Amino acid sequence: MMLEVPGAAMLEAVTLTKRYEDGVLALDHVSFAVKPGQIFAMLGANGAGKTTAINLFLNFIEPTDGEARIDGIVTHKEPLLAKQRVAYVSENVMLYPNFTAVQNLDYFARLGGKTGYTKDDYRSVLLRVGLSEDAHNKRLKGFSKGMRQKCGIAIAILKDAPAILLDEPTSGLDPKAGFEFQQLLDSLRTEGKAILMSTHDIFRAKEVADIIAIMNNGRIVMQEPASRLLGQDLERLYMQYMAGHTAAEAVA
Amino acid sequence: MFGILVQKELKAILLSPKFAVTFGICAFLLLLSVFIGISEYNASVKQYDTGKQLADQQLREQSSFRMIQTKAFRRPDPMQIFVSGLTYDLGRWAGINQISSPRLRSSAYSEDPIFAVFRFVDLAFVVTVVLSLLAVLFTYDAVCGERESGTLPLVFSNAVPRAQYLLAKGIGAWIGLVVPVVLALLLCMLMVILAGVPMTGEHWLRTGLLMLISLLFFTSFMVIGLFISALTRRSSVSFLVSLVVWVAFVLIIPRAGVIAAGQIVRVPSVAEIQGQRDAFARDRWNLFRQDLDSLFENRRGAEPDSMTEEAMWTHMQTQDSMRRAIELDINAFEAKLYEDLSRRRNVQERLAFSLSRVSPASAFQLAAMSLAGTDLDLKRRYEDGLMIFRTQFVDYANKKTEDSPGGFQISFSSDKGMSIGTPRSKAQLDLTDMPTFVPPVQQIGATVEGLLVDAGLLTLYSLLAFAGAFVAFLRYDVR
């Protein structure tokens, strides 16, 4: 089921399908679109196909069928061009342990094509994601998962790409950091970024997303604007979809 | 993009303990090897000078040109400091006389076998064993290590071309290793200068080429490490594979090549050659005796006046010419045997080196020894040089003997019987015009020509390994 949205999509999956060499069908004709200024949340259990979809957008793997497009560019045909328009935060951000936070930011910002940043810019973005100043010039060796996650988000912000892919971004963040992250996503949306986020966090998805999709066994079993789900118990809905109910059954 | 990637690699290496540890190991081992090389070179020069003085003195004490003999010495060369090669295996002097062919005798190892147990640690050894290992350790986790640590997906979420990334990895690691190695090598050169080793311009040129071939050598191992890292997903697996490949290339293939060549091309031992020669000689002399017997029988049956002194003299002359013909036959047979031995050895050597050159370590060792002039050719050069000198020396001695026969002379005469002549004068021999042994020199042109093969092979191995790494990395799952 594809949600009809007016205007050009920044991130678009068109009957995206991925079958691995061992025969597992990880993604089965999935279609969706994320416009600039929208947050699209993919909910689903482990193995539902959320990360596979993100990997296809990053061209880490090639689709068996269909296309993933970023700003209209088919990722597996022109991966380098497509990657210039997307930033990525993984579930477990890993950076160079012998580099400081600022050094890591500097490297990845330049890798993302941004060469004009100053140390003040790095400090300011690190403060924006909630990393205290005393950690800015420390090597990442001693950073907690949450601190690394903040650095990863800072890198994504610095890239200033029109599209952002977030794979379980709040994993490892404490509740306060999670709330700050939610505010950050709000501000990024306001800046006009198209954000595709995979998450297990139903509460956070409901709070922050514009569109919510529930995935099961490589398929999108539900895709609705968050505004339509306001009065509904999303958790119950999620559990029903996971149990294999159809859309009609679940809504009833 | 490429510059950013290389800068990051360099920064990562500089910030990691790898750099300091590598510099420490390289500086310590290279300086130690050169220090040992200089000490051994100085000792060799001292022995060479002393030996020559003693030989000159012994020569001056001789009273006759008839039995004159001398010694020719193998001159130590400063290049043996860096690559000892066969220096300590070959004899250091050869006796030059009119009776026997000159043979190099008294090698350092034959005098002090204890050194042969663990061999000398020279610069070539450090480069072959230690630097190649360091080179592999610098790159074995270049790709799989980043995947394992989780940074690879973040890197490739950006518009990073894989070829540039791989090349930057290789170049970054290469510079990271070259800098400490070159610094350590410069310290070694400083040590050589401070020690007052008589290095000529050509020696410095050879040393420079040696450094270049060393860089080429460990570059090949770095790229092999990179290739393995692009083939594997875990650094522990990559480490194990790299270690196996290193052992094969450095320790097994060079020896296996020689062993295989020994099995494929059979070369008889000197004892076998001697045995064949003796068997041939025995047969010929038996025939000679049979011929003599029949000759004698024929004479006995002949008329009594045939036993005159003149007839006896003719008979002796016939015997003598037969004997000489047999000696010539035996010598020709022996020469043929040795020629065949030499030919087989050459074929075996070429095959052994060709097989061994599958390993970059062999190609480097052969190139290094050739550059230093301490390869198998050293023996050949000296053997040829000694043969030429012996001919000159024997001609000189014969000429001098004819001009002024000295010593004592035993002569036989049918009229007077045996008589012994005594020297007319015990005055010191005038040796001013005696030929002197000029140690053979390896021409740099010929060296460079030979070097090109090994340099080409090392470059080829690096290119092949990089091509392999590139193909593997194109298909590499960065997740």
Shortest Cα–Cα distance, A60 to chain B (Å): 7
Is the confidence at residue B376, as pLDDT, over 50? Answer: yes
Shortest Cα–Cα distance, B154 to chain A (Å): 7
- Please check whether residues A77 and A12 belong to one and the same domain: yes
| Token duo for residue B442 | 């390896």
Is the confidence at residue B408, as pLDDT, over 50? Answer: yes
- For the entire predicted model, the pTM comes to 0.81
Contact B479 A93 (CB under 8 A): no
Cβ–Cβ < 8 Å for B123, B34: yes
Strands B417-421 and B409-413: antiparallel
* Residues B322-368 pLDDT 10s: 888 888 888 888 888 888 888 888 898 889 888 888 999 999 999 99
How big is the A-B interface in CB pairs under 8 Å? Answer: 70
Task: Measure the CA–CA gap between A251 and A236, rounded to whole angstroms.
Answer: 10
Which H or E run contains A196? strand A194-199
pLDDT at A239: 78
Q: Which residues of B touch A86 (CB under 8 A)?
A: 157
Cα B429 to chain centroid distance, Å, stands at 38
Q: Taken in order B41, B46, B50, B56, is the CA torsion positive or negative?
A: positive
Task: Measure the CA–CA gap between B221 and B135, rounded to whole angstroms.
Answer: 6
Most confident of A65-74, B22-31, B393-402: A65-74
Side-chain half-sphere CA neighbours of B79 within 13 A = 28
Numbered residues of chain B with Cβ closer than 8 Å to any chain A Cβ: 1, 4-5, 8, 11-12, 15-16, 149-151, 153-161, 477-479
Task: Reduce the DSSP state of residue B299 to 3 states and report it.
Answer: helix
Residue A19 within any structural domain of the chain: yes
Counting Cβ atoms within 10 Å, is residue B268 exposed (0-12), middle (13-18) or buried (19+)?
Answer: middle
pLDDT at B478: 83
Section B222-232 average pLDDT: 94
Least confident of B135-144, B203-212, B289-298: B289-298
Residue B63 or B254, more confident: B254
- Please check whether residues A110 and A76 belong to one and the same domain: no
pLDDT at A5: 45
Contact B479 A107 (CB under 8 A): no
Task: Reduce the DSSP state of residue B102 to 3 states and report it.
Answer: coil
pLDDT at A4: 47
* Residues B447-471 pLDDT 10s: 888 889 999 999 999 999 999 999 9
- Please check whether residues A150 and A170 belong to one and the same domain: no
Task: Measure the CA–CA gap between A52 and B477, rounded to whole angstroms.
Answer: 13
Task: Measure the CA–CA gap between A47 and A215, rounded to whole angstroms.
Answer: 9
- Please check whether residues A123 and A174 belong to one and the same domain: no
Cβ neighbours of residue B469 closer than 8 Å, sequence gap 6 or more: B143, B166, B170, B223, B226, B227, B229, B230
Task: Measure the CA–CA gap between B404 and B68, rounded to whole angstroms.
Answer: 13
Asked if the C-beta of A171 comes within 8 angstroms of chain B's C-beta atoms, the answer is: no
Rg (CA), chain A: 18
Q: Which residues of B touch A154 (CB under 8 A)?
A: none
pLDDT at B227: 95
| Token duo for residue A221 | 């079993």
Cβ–Cβ < 8 Å for B138, B224: no
- Please check whether residues A42 and A147 belong to one and the same domain: no
Q: Which residues of B touch A111 (CB under 8 A)?
A: 1, 4-5, 155, 158, 160
Shortest Cα–Cα distance, A67 to chain B (Å): 17
Which H or E run contains A65? strand A65-70
Rounded to the nearest 5°, which phi and psi values hold at A199? -155, 160
Cβ–Cβ < 8 Å for B188, B30: yes
**What are the boundaries of each domain within chain B?**
2-265+359-402+427-474, 270-353
- Please check whether residues A167 and A156 belong to one and the same domain: no
Per-residue pLDDT band at B421 (split at 50, 70, 90): low
**Segments of chain A with pLDDT less than 70:** 1-7, 172, 244-252
What value does the mean pLDDT of chain B take?
85
Percentage of chain B with pLDDT > 70? 91
Contact B479 A60 (CB under 8 A): yes
Asked if the C-beta of A45 comes within 8 angstroms of chain B's C-beta atoms, the answer is: no
- Please check whether residues A80 and A171 belong to one and the same domain: yes
Contact A99 B12 (CB under 8 A): yes
Residue A167: strand pairing partners:
A198
Among A121, A136, A160, residue at a domain's last position: A160
pLDDT at B471: 94
Residue A166 within any structural domain of the chain: yes
Is the confidence at residue B409, as pLDDT, over 70? Answer: no
Strands B104-107 and A65-70: unpaired
Which H or E run contains A19? strand A11-19
Best mutation site among A94, A111, A155 for testing chain B: the one with the most B CBs within 10 Å? A111
Residue A90 within any structural domain of the chain: no
Q: Which of B323, B163, B136 is nearest to B246 (CA)?
A: B136
Contact A60 B12 (CB under 8 A): no
- Please check whether residues A237 and A177 belong to one and the same domain: yes
- Please check whether residues A129 and A175 belong to one and the same domain: no
Among A135, A160, A185, residue at a domain's last position: A160
Among A114, A138, A160, residue at a domain's last position: A160
Per-residue pLDDT band at B243 (split at 50, 70, 90): very high
Q: Taken in order B381, B383, B386, B387, is the CA torsion positive or negative?
A: negative
CB atoms within 10 A of CB B348: 18
pLDDT at A249: 54
Q: Which residue in the set A93, A103, A112 is minimally distant from B158, CB to CB?
A: A112
pLDDT at B450: 80
Contact A81 B159 (CB under 8 A): yes
Cα separation values, B132 from B32, B116, B347, B421, Å: 18, 24, 30, 69
pLDDT at B368: 92
Task: Measure the CA–CA gap between A62 and A88, rounded to whole angstroms.
Answer: 18
| Biggest CA-to-CA distance, chain A | 55
- Please check whether residues A23 and A52 belong to one and the same domain: yes
Task: Reduce the DSSP state of residue B475 to 3 states and report it.
Answer: coil
Q: Which residue in the set B1, B5, B154 is minimally distant from A88, CB to CB?
A: B154
Asked if the C-beta of A117 comes within 8 angstroms of chain B's C-beta atoms, the answer is: no
What value does the mean pLDDT of chain A take?
86
| Token duo for residue B418 | 């045996």
- Please check whether residues A20 and A144 belong to one and the same domain: no
Q: Which of B174, B247, B252 is nearest to B214 (CA)?
A: B174
Q: Which of B396, B423, B421, B399 is nearest to B411 (CA)?
A: B421
- Please check whether residues A203 and A138 belong to one and the same domain: no
Cβ–Cβ < 8 Å for B429, B399: no
For chain A, how many residues are written?
Answer: 252
Q: Which of B384, B284, B271, B283 is nearest to B337 (CA)?
A: B271
Task: Measure the CA–CA gap between B127 and B29, rounded to whole angstroms.
Answer: 10
Residue B374 or B241, more confident: B241
Residue span of the structural domain in which A238 resides: 1-85+162-252
Percentage of chain B with pLDDT > 90? 33
pLDDT at A1: 39
Task: Measure the CA–CA gap between A206 and A204, rounded to whole angstroms.
Answer: 5
Amino acid type, A33: A
Q: Which residue in the set B16, B149, B157 is minimally distant from A94, CB to CB?
A: B149
Q: Which residues of A touch B156 (CB under 8 A)?
A: 58, 60, 83
Q: Which residue in the set A60, A96, A110 is minimally distant from B153, CB to CB?
A: A60
**N-to-C CA span, chain B:** 21
Instruction: Give the count of domains, chain A.
Output: 2
